């Protein structure tokens, strides 16, 4: 009966898309799905509206209210326009910045967005070609715009596209603006409510002039220019994985002094079909396979990669056996924090007002490094909008000098307010040159960090649950983790539970609860055990996944012990997975 009711609702909703407000191609596709005997495709396209969440939209491209298309994207832009006009009613001119990446339809969606903004009397600064997400954040601040968007689905498969929304500080929107924008977007019910006919006088094309200012600013974050000068022939293999990083990352590496940047020609080809990879995700070894092959062939020192919108980075380095291995996001962030704090200390720049930020699911090793240098470390929710929120709260009071998350995002400066692979790639090349000047590889440097601060192994597991039934199952699983905490994990007693849905931090033995200081609640649960294990569970905000983050602690007395400690930790990781049935 429930399925019949859903089908009736879906059919009625789909029939609305047959009206004259929708283009002919869309109407034909809707009619095809309505006429099909199997209604599965129709249900997936219309069983809900593609949700404009706190970060924007992301979904599979196609026809229907639950897909990414000119109407769902157009409703988002119209809703944002409506809110901007209310929020900034006193301004003579409201300004937005529009960027887009390499994905199929990104340019089309960006141009339509510019038309909609301009039709609503809003000045639209539209990039002339694809650009990295962090440059859009930078341009919002540079042009003193009130908002901005970028059309991207980050590292998702080729079927996806997305729409990220930013506020006047260059950061993704947070409360109260996120909820207010969502309310305005939800009030746009049909295509007739969207102003598609643009005003070309209010569309300004921007490009290389912003690139130049942005790259100049990135050069200011260098902490060891002498190391770059001494190691300017460092062999760096770089791949944009068919994405927008191809425009600026080789350029910044050259600009700061590196003369030997080696391209992966097949992946320099800009394409939303990502022809050489299954997934353009720098977390996955397969995405860096061609770059590693190139590095082996050229005896390179370092492999750098960026995802399609160039906000996240991947890194591969030679291990002690001379084989290239990929660093995970926690290792990348740890190296950055270690380097930034050590070099600032050596240069006499630590005044006591500096701080770093990490997300709650990111390695605790970062806090250990900060504590030793006497630098404050803030914890925040997953997502760079929360790191940006910490920066905004401390503006003019304390100095941000770095922050990152386990998902391969890092920000080494505050003139951008989102993760930035352009500046991160430049800084990682510098760290490698600095280490080489001391007779070390980047891998040696990582092992030295482990020896000094303790070894940490992290493991991320994503369980995919697609469609309506998948979303319901993820919700049930999360309810179970909140309501029924395990007594022990892999033989070690659970001692602390942090439930971000209630904001209670519970000492299991005493039962004592304390309230956590967080800006809002979130559907995340964390378990801490007596042996130092940390397990975090949360649903993905952008993909149909439930995500598990496991972190183990151990001691590393010397570099030579590394392989044995890793093997033991892998065995413990499996025991944790078995305990949680994942």
**63: its two tokens:** 């026809």
- Helix (H, G, I), strand (E, B), or coil: what is residue 385? helix
Q: How far is CA 476 from CA 470, 484, 559, in A?
A: 10, 12, 44
In the residue annotation, 514 being an active-site residue is answered as: no
Region for 121 from its dihedrals, namely left if φ exceeds 0, alpha if ψ lies in -120 to 50, beta otherwise: left
Burial 131-169 (b: 16+ CB within 10 A, else e): bbbbbbbbbbbbbebbbbbbbbbbbbebebbbbbbbbbb
User: Is residue 281 within 8 Å of 288, Cβ to Cβ?
Assistant: no
3-state class (DSSP) for residue 463: strand
By the 10 Å C-beta count (0-12 exposed, 13-18 middle, 19+ buried), 197 is classed as: exposed
Query: Sign of torsion, CA 105 111 116 117?
Result: positive
In 3D space, the residue among 150, 149, 144, 139 whose CA is nearest the CA of residue 94 turns out to be 144
Six token digits for residue 247: 């425009």
Question: Hey, is 324 helix, strand or coil?
Answer: strand
Q: Smallest Cα–Cα separation from 467: which of 11, 1, 6, 4?
A: 6
Q: Using an 8 Å Cβ cutoff, are 77 and 69 in contact? A: no
Q: Are 368 and 333 in contact (CB under 8 A)?
A: no
Distance set, CA 377 to CA 128, 530, 542 (Å): 39, 23, 27
> Pick the catalytic residue: 81, 147, 154, 423?
154
Query: Using an 8 Å Cβ cutoff, are 74 and 197 in contact?
Result: no
Residue 42, helix vs strand vs coil: helix
480 backbone dihedrals φ, ψ, rounded to 5°: -65, -40
CA distances from 287 to 113, 304, 306, 499, 552 (A): 31, 11, 10, 35, 27
Sign of the torsion formed by the C-alpha atoms of 515, 518, 524 and 526:
negative
ω into 421 cis (within 30 of 0): no
Contacts of 236 (CB under 8 A, 6+ apart): 253, 258, 260, 261, 262, 300, 301, 302, 303, 304, 429, 432
Q: Are 316 and 288 in contact (CB under 8 A)?
A: yes
Q: For residues 130 and 132, give the distance between their C-alpha atoms in angstroms, rounded to a whole number.
A: 7
Active-site annotation, residues? 154
């Amino acid at each position: 009966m429930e399925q019949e009711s859903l089908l009736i609702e879906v059919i009625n909703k789909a029939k609305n898309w047959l009206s004259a407000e929708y283009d002919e191609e869309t109407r034909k596709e809707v009619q095809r799905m309505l006429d099909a005997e199997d209604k599965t495709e129709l249900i997936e396209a219309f069983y809900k509206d593609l949700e404009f969440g706190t970060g924007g939209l992301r979904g599979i491209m196609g026809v229907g209210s639950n897909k990414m298309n000119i109407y769902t994207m157009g409703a988002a832009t119209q809703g944002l326009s409506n809110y901007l006009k209310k929020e900034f009613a006193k301004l003579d001119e409201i300004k937005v910045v529009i960027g887009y990446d390499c994905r199929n339809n990104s340019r089309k969606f960006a141009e339509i967005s510019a038309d909609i903004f301009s039709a609503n009397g809003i000045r639209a600064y539209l990039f002339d070609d694809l650009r990295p997400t962090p440059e859009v954040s930078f341009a919002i601040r540079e042009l003193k715009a009130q908002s901005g968007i970028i059309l991207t689905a980050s590292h998702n498969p080729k079927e996806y596209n997305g729409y990220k929304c930013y506020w006047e500080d260059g950061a993704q929107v947070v409360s109260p603006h996120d909820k207010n924008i969502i309310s305005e977007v939800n009030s746009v019910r049909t295509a007739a409510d969207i102003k598609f006919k643009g005003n070309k006088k209010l569309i300004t094309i921007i490009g290389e002039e912003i690139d130049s200012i942005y790259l100049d600013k990135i050069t200011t974050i260098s902490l060891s220019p002498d190391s770059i000068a001494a190691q300017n022939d460092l062999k760096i293999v770089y791949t944009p994985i068919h994405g927008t990083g191809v425009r600026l990352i080789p350029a910044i590496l050259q600009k700061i002094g590196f003369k030997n940047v080696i391209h992966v020609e097949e992946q320099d080809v800009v394409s939303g079909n990502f022809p050489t990879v299954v997934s353009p995700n720098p977390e996955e070894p397969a995405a860096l396979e061609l770059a590693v092959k190139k590095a082996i062939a050229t005896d390179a020192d370092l492999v750098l990669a960026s995802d399609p919108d160039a906000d996240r980075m991947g890194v591969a380095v030679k291990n002690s056996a001379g084989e290239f291995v990929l660093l995970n996001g926690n290792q990348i962030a740890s190296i950055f924090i270690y380097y930034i704090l050590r070099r600032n200390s050596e240069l006499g720049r630590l005044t006591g007002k500096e701080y770093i930020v990490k997300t709650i699911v990111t390695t605790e090793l970062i806090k250990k490094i900060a504590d030793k240098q006497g630098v404050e470390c803030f914890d925040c929710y997953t997502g760079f909008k929360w790191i940006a929120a910490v920066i905004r709260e401390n503006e003019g009071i304390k100095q941000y000098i770095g922050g990152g998350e386990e998902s391969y995002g890092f920000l080494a400066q505050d003139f951008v307010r989102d993760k930035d692979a352009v500046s991160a790639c430049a800084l990682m090349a510098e760290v490698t040159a600095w280490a080489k000047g001391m007779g070390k590889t980047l891998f040696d440097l990582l092992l030295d960090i482990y020896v000094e601060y303790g070894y940490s192994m992290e493991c991320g597991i994503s369980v995919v649950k697609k469609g309506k039934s998948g979303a319901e199952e993820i919700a049930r699983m999360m309810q179970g983790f909140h309501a029924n905490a395990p007594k022990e994990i892999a033989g070690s007693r659970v001692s602390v539970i942090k439930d971000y849905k209630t904001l209670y931090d519970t000492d299991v033995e005493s039962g004592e609860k304390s309230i956590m200081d967080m800006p809002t609640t979130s559907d995340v649960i964390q378990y801490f055990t007596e042996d130092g294990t940390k397990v975090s569970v949360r649903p993905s905000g952008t993909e149909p996944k439930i995500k598990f983050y496991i972190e183990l602690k151990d001691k590393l007395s010397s570099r030579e012990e590394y392989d044995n400690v890793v093997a033991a930790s892998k065995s413990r990781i499996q025991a944790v997975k078995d305990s949680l049935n994942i």
